[in-house]
Structure 1
Amino acid sequence: MKNIAVLMGGYSHEWEISLKSGAVIAQNLDSNLYKIYPVAILIDGWYYKNDAGTRYDIDKNDFSLSIDAKKITFDCCYNTIHGTPGEDGKLQALLELLNIPQTSCDSYQSALTFNKRDCIAVLKPWNITTGNHMYINQGDTIDEEIIARNIGLPCFVKANRSGSSFGVSKVYKVEEINAALETAFEVDDEIIIESFLDGVEVSVGAYQIGDKIKVLLPTEIVSENDFFDYEAKYQGKSKEITPARIKDENTKAVQQTTRRIYQVLKLKGLARADFIFHKGIPHFIEINTNPGMSKESIVPQQITASGLILKKVLTEIIENTIKYHIT
């Protein structure tokens, strides 16, 4: 029986969401194949708690546990940390140095995709359609009129390295830009300002087994709020319709674009790309390489709608990760 660590938590605003994702993963792993260890990676420590609540700290020297004088090492880590250090490449780099397989993309790809600005810059030469963008770092001189003229209003002001819509504002007036920047700078010292795209928002999950990239059915996002913010994502303020109510040719187009992005970026494990259908063309917004897997999350819905079983998909991903792990 293989030992599998389910990594959850993290150091970002998303740590509580990640704990929920990790719990769903742990519950849906095949206990006939795996001995499952939910491992919290938190600011107060890295540890596993057994059913009795006894805490066992991870030995960071080799990422092992010691339980009742027995050393436990892991055949694979299922990485479901949102944000740092599990989605920005830091934890991946450690596990790569320790030669431990983990299910998310590798350290370079994780760092690249976690940085929205860098990811968009890499994808544009591959003819991936996006909106218009401006970039601002903390300390830069800011001219709100230039931002409004170059990007247009309304627009989105976003923290560059964040998820779950933390640090995101939709701006309608020039005089709202500074407040939106302040909100974003509370989360990150790098900002991305993005043009508003009018159209249907969809999200598409994908994962790779062997040499085949499997793309799930797209989900249509209908937010009760002004955009798909934290409340809409996690507090029931949106409708998530799977499959999306779009034409068959649009479904195929966005699935094809998702597959192309996954391939170009050389991703691994489950990922989810977000798009806006603007003037009939899917415009890429961002990609999540450790997407939410809680009961409220999109990817589990897509797995079910695509006629798949979550437990089987997770088994495929773990076995594929171990099989193709480069030692």
Structure 2
Amino acid sequence: MSTRVAVIGGGQNCEHDVSLASAAAVRGALDPAKYEPVPLTIRHDGIWLGPESQPLADTKSASLAAALEILGTCALAIPLVHGPRGEDGTLAALCDLAGIPCVGSPLRAGALAMDKWATKLVAEAVGVLTAPGQLVTAPGTVVFDGPVVVKPVAAGSSFGVQLVDRVVDLEPAVRAALELDDRVLVEQVVRGREIDVAVLDGPDGRQVAPPLEILVSEGLFDTETKYDGSASFVLPAELTPSESKELTEAALLVYDALGCRGVARVDFFLTAEGPVLNEVNTMPGMTAASQVPKMFAAAGLSYSDFLDRLIHSAVR
């Protein structure tokens, strides 16, 4: 008998479409001999859609109540809502209150990792370097020490992220980021190689995938370059044994300090001074072409086996 698994996609944030793609990919990759995927989708307006892609009710609260009834028929849930009201621990908390096992990090880890300022504080407390930065809540309150990167504190897929080289561009960049969040991080640019490290928590212990290097011809690995195909990946990244050890140790330190579970992608800049943390994703993109599944594929773990391991970790 197959196990019913709720696969939740969509969401009420700017990563809605990315989340839909992740959910569709996961549903298609689950081994049909083991699992029965049950699709649930959150529309932009917060209305939940059922397995037939129809609204479960006319209001958010009523549709949520109906979604909980469906969740109650499932053995566990895979929440694939990237960004706020999803990856930030919201759905993990919902499942926890409903007594439904949930793939991925719990509320605390999701909330901390989504908050880039809090992540910096946690990383620095365990000895992992981060870029010097300032927390900004209003335009015109930050002193330019460029070049800098302006980013919303709690948004994903690099939405609202801008590289600012001139003081005249700083305030408009902050204003644009404040449209997505009420707090903005302004960080000095770190010169180094962009290296991603993925950690997977499974029933037989943790596994670190081969690191991946991101190559961008110019500028940032921003929303446009993430999805237009212009960036290229080197997998595995060409690292010395010492560099690989430093990155792995730093990734595990941050993973443990935040309290992550399931899978997390820990992004670094590799500099002459060692790894500098960029950010942590507790629910990274999950299509077969996304970075994390590709990284574990390079370690010999197929996409369906990767999902199987995530599910076993949640049930445990």
Normalising by structure 2, what TM-score? 0.92
Asked whether 1:227 is paired with 2:220, we answer yes
Give the aligned residue type for 2:125: P
Aligned to 1:96: 96
Q: Which residue of 1 aligns with 2:112?
A: 112
Show the 5 A alignment for 1:61-140: 63-65=68-70, 73-138=73-138
Q: Which amino acid aligns with 2:261?
A: K
Within 5 A, what are the aligned runs for 1:170-319? 170-210=163-203, 212-319=205-312
Give, in angstroms, the shift of residue 62 of structure 1: 6.8
Superposition map of 1:27-66 within 5 A: 27-44=28-45, 45-50=47-52, 60=65, 63-65=68-70
Instruction: After TM superposition, give the deviation of residue 211 of structure 1 in Å.
Output: 6.5
Q: In 1, distance between residues paired with 2:95 and 2:206?
A: 24
- 8 Å CA contact 2:104–2:310 kept in 1: the answer is no
CA distance in 1, matches of 2:90, 2:229: 32
Aligned partner of residue 102 in structure 2, secondary structure:
coil
Q: Distance in 2 between matches of 1:62 and 1:226?
A: 42
Q: Match of 1:289, as an amino acid? A: T
Moved more, 98-107 or 38-47: 38-47
Unaligned runs of 5+ in 1: 66-70
Contact residue 292 and residue 298 of structure 1 kept, 8 A: yes
3-state SS in 1 of match to 2:68: coil
Letter in 2 for 1:73: T
Bigger mean CA deviation after superposition, 41-50 or 211-220: 41-50
Contact 1:206 1:214 in 2 (8 A): yes
Which deviations, in whole Å up to 9, do the C-alpha atoms of 1:4-63 show, x marking residues without a partner?
01111111110101111111111111111111112112234212334xx66656652671
Please report how far the alpha carbon of residue 110 of structure 1 lies from its aligned counterpart in structure 2 after TM superposition. 1.0
Alpha-carbon distance, 1:207 to partner? 1.3
3-state SS of 1:274 partner: strand
| Cα distance change, pair 232–62 in 1 and its aligned pair in 2 (3 A) | closer
Name the counterpart of 1:68.
Answer: none
Q: Aligned partners of 1:135, 1:155: CA distance in 2, in Å?
A: 13
1-structure distance, mates of 2:25, 2:79: 12
- What secondary structure sits across from 1:8 in the alignment? strand
Distance 1:246 1:306 in 2: 16
Aligned to 2:21: 20
Q: Deviations over 1:242-266 (max 9, x none)?
A: 1112223212221221112111211
CA contact (8 A) 2:7 2:39 kept: yes
Match of 1:155 among 143, 148, 155: 148
1:286-321 deviations in Å (ceiling 9; x for gaps):
100000012441111101111111111211211221
CA RMSD of aligned residues (A): 1.9
- Segments of 4+ moved more than 6 angstroms: none
Question: Match for residue 142 of structure 1?
Answer: 141
Which whole-Å CA distance do the structure 1 matches of 2:4 and 2:64 have between them? 16
Shift, 1:181, TM fit: 0.6
Kept in 1: contact 2:199–2:263 (CA 8 A): yes
Is the Cα–Cα contact under 8 Å of residues 149 and 186 in structure 2 kept in the other structure?
A: yes
Q: Give the Cα–Cα distance (whole angstroms) in 1 for the partners of residues 289 and 242 of structure 2.
A: 28
**Alignment check: 8 A CA contact 2:288 2:303 kept:** no
1:8 counterpart letter in structure 2: G
Count of residue correspondences: 309
Indicate if the aligned counterparts of 1:234 and 1:296 stay in contact, CA closer than 8 A.
Answer: no
Matched-pair contact (CA < 8 Å) for 2:196–2:266: yes
Are the aligned partners of 2:199 and 2:209 in contact in 1 as well (CA < 8 Å)?
yes
Cα distance in 1 for residues equivalent to 2:260 and 2:204? 12
Contact 1:116 1:286 (C-alpha < 8 Å) held by counterparts? yes
* Percent identity for Structure 1 against Structure 2: 29
The one-letter code sitting in structure 2 at the alignment partner of 1:203 is D
Shift of residue 280, structure 1, vs aligned partner: 4.7
Equivalent residue, structure 1, for 2:60: none
Going from structure 1 to structure 2, the CA distance change for 1:252 and 1:54 (only over 3 Å counts) comes to: same
One-letter amino acid matched to 1:24? A
